Structures are given as C-alpha cells and as structure tokens.
Structure 1
Amino acid sequence: MTRVFGEVAAIYDEARQGYPDDLLAAVTGYHGGVPASVADVGAGTGKGTGLLLRLGVPVTAVEPDPRMAAVLTRKFPQVEVANAAFEDWTPPPGGVGLLACATAWHWMDERTRERRARTALVPRGTLAVFHNSHGYAVPRQKDAIDAIHQAIDPTPTVDDREVAWARGGIERSGLFADVEVHEWHRHPVLTTEQYLRLLQTFSTFRNHSARDRKTVVANLSAAIDGFGGAVEMDIHTVLVLARAA
C-alpha cells in the first residue's frame, strides 16, 4: 500500500494540498529554533519537503516508491533522497534534529515507528507528525458526495479516528515527552475537474475495481456540476509534536 500512489505520482503532486505556513512556525517554536538537520520520512513527491526546505538546513527525504521519489528529485534537486522504506532506512550517525512525517505515519509499521523515530533523532530532537484530512465545508455537498461513495462501498468515508490519533502511540511508547497538538482548517474551492483529479490520489478510490471507479467518477462529476461546477473543501491539518526523551 505504501506504493499505491506511484501509479499517479504526477497527479498526486499536482492535486494534493500542501501544508499551511503556520505549521513551520509551530515546529520551530516548539523546537526552540531551527534544527541543524531534517529527515522527511514517507516524503512522497515532496508536499511536506518543500515547506521543510524553508528552514534553510539539509533535508533528507526518505521515500520507498521510486516514481514518487523521482518527482521529488525533479522539484528539489538539492534534497538528498533515500529511496527506501522508513523501516529499511539507516539514519545518519548521531541522528537528525527534526524527524518529520507528512500524511504518511499511518503507512509506517505501527509496531516499530516510534522506536525508529526516536533512534533517528538526536537527544531532545523533535518529532513532527502531520497530516491533511479531506472534508467538505458545505453539508449538502458532503452528504451527496458521501452517498455516491457509499453506494459502491458502505464503509463510512469519514475517518472516525480521533483528530490527533498519532498522539496516542507516541505517548504510549514512553520514548517522547512534551507532546503538543496544533490544528488548522483551510477551505479551497475545487472545480469538478480538480476534484476528480484529487479523487485519483485517494487509496480508498484506487482500491476499487475499474468498473466501480468509472461509476463513482460519473456520479461525482454530475453531482459537482449540479453544485455549479465547484465543491468547497475543508482541509483539516493536524500536527503532533514530541521531544525525544
């Protein structure tokens, strides 16, 4: 599953939202300044990497899918890219000051991810786990889109995990201290075409059969056109910060 997005790497890079500028300020404020080095694990096409580069320090991007990594390299040739899974990556000697993971923590081995993160960090280094959730700002649009998805798959489209779900595992590990949570909401308006391109980057959609994907696309296209050709999103960004104990 960690490589499912490589099939649509270019679309993923174009269609997925980045992260708010305030996230970087929250990280540096928590860290007490700019870390000396950064590792971005599960970096994908670099949606989080671009923000982290603004720190002005060396960034290593760790990404298992070569197709995703290739897009990242074209965009950010100054970044050292390790084409490996987090579980197979060897951190630099002494560790990094900041280990970041953008919308990929759930793909990491939940039995070992906190331990691996702690091993990769310098003493008192910062772990920053953040993700975007894709919701809908207008209730009638949300209801219509959910109904179309559930006609194919009755599994609820809403993520029922707690907002800061990563916090639990980090705290239970006993490897980190001073855990904080920050949240932001943004409301971009997407055209029918933009939304359908975004849809192609969702793993739940990609796991459907070709026939079901075609049905969903047709029904969503008609529904969004019925809204005037646009849907207002609610992009909810959650950042969990922790300090290596």
Structure 2
Amino acid sequence: MTPRRILCSLLFVVSVGALASAQRPDDGLSPELARRLGQMIDRDWQQRPQWADMLSDLLQGRGMRPGEGWFGPSESRLDWDSFSDQFDANDDGRISLEELPEASRRSFYLARLDRTRDGELSRDDFVNPRPGPASQMARQLFSRWDSDSNGRISQTEFADFFEAADPEGLGFFTPRDLELALAPSPSRQAASQGDENSPPSPTGLLNGFLAGEFGSLQEGPALNDEAPGFRLSTFDGKQKIGLSDYRDKKPVVLIFGSFT
C-alpha cells in the first residue's frame, strides 16, 4: 500500500471516528480498529515521517512514554568517537585517568562520565540506556526525594526521606516501610483514581494528536542541520526580530519552553 493510500485511509477513519464521537460520545474508533490501523502503518509505510511514528504508537496504545512515538532519545555531537579521537592517546579503545586533561580535575571528569563504574572510559559509557522499568522507577524515586523540585537530591532531602521511612528510629527500614513511604496519601490516590480507570479513547487521542496537543506535526531540524529562519514580534509589537539578523554579529541564545 502506497503512502498516499495510507493517508486516505487515515483521513477516512479519523473523519468517521470524529463524526461518530460528536454524535454519540460513547462511539467512535474502537481500540481494536485503532490497533489494526497502527499495525498497517508499521507494515506498509516503511519510509514515513516522524508524526506517523507517533500516530502509529498512539493507535496501538503506546506513544506517551520515553522512547515511544516521537519521544526518542536525544542526539549529540559529543559521542564516543569524537571524545576518543581527542583523548585516547594510545588508541586502545579506552581512556584512562592519566589520558584526561587538567590533572586537578581528572577524577571529577572520570566520575561524571564513567557510567559503568570500571575506572576507565569506553564506548559503553557513552551509550544511552533504553527507557525501561529501571528508568521509570528512577524518575519516580527522584520525584519523591527531590522535595523542593530543583532537579537535585541533597543529603538533607535523602535524610528526611530516610527518617520518614523509619518512624521508629531503628536506623534501617524494611521493604514494607519503603512501600508505605512511597505510597501516595489516600486523598491523592482518590483524586487520581478516575484517571487510571478511564484512559482516553482512541478517538480522543486522535483528536488531541491532530489538534497538536502532543506536539507539532512538523519535524524540527536534525542534528547538524541549520536552524530554520523565523521572525518573532517583540513584546510591544512594534518590530519583528529574525534569527538571521544577528548571524555572525553577536552571540544568540534561544530559550525554548514547553506549553505543558
């Protein structure tokens, strides 16, 4: 099936689903039909844009977690090859402490980059782990321990959590103590109970997707691509400023925010 026929099928299904949902809120695109449509995209549309990946995952009940849809891992020019070319003096595929610059800060550099904790730097240290249960659990624990939400867990915050998990002051806590300390309060659990029991329907996800609620359907520039040209109005609306106006003239800092 060609991409054009797939797009026509998508538009037809979305239109019928949206019309049925508007007339009868309980109707619309069924989960089974949504799943089959997502599988059709995966099977028949190999060279597809990024938004089609997101749509396919949403139709199949995925797409809202890290690593799914268009929420893929970040790209960086600072990979192992660029790092080893600069610091692997003996070309053995590993970077020892002595090969790092600035003798006074070598231990700091090694501690920050040595993900495998083997005392050296290798390609394995520059491979981003795939999102999974461990990363999800780490984010949940971090959010509970980071009491002031500043993106860091201090020794005091960790000690406060330890004290809360050990109310009897025994100097340790058991798995049951940890479970109780991490469990949400009854009021917080009751408030979120409705959301857990009523996930969004496939038609609702499609409507949100087309409305741009999950992100723009237009792909941004890839790594090493030139930034696209754009012009934005100033706060007072008296003039427009373009990114190219300052090219090669002065440093420019772009600050991106999330509307979510």
TM range (shorter): under 0.3
Give the number of the structure with larger relative contact order, counting CA–CA contacts within 8 Å between residues 6 or more apart: 1
If the length of structure 1 is used for normalisation, what is the TM-score? 0.19
Higher-Rg member (1/2): 2
Taking structure 2 as the reference length, the TM-score comes to 0.18
Q: In proportion to residue count, which structure has more helix?
A: 2
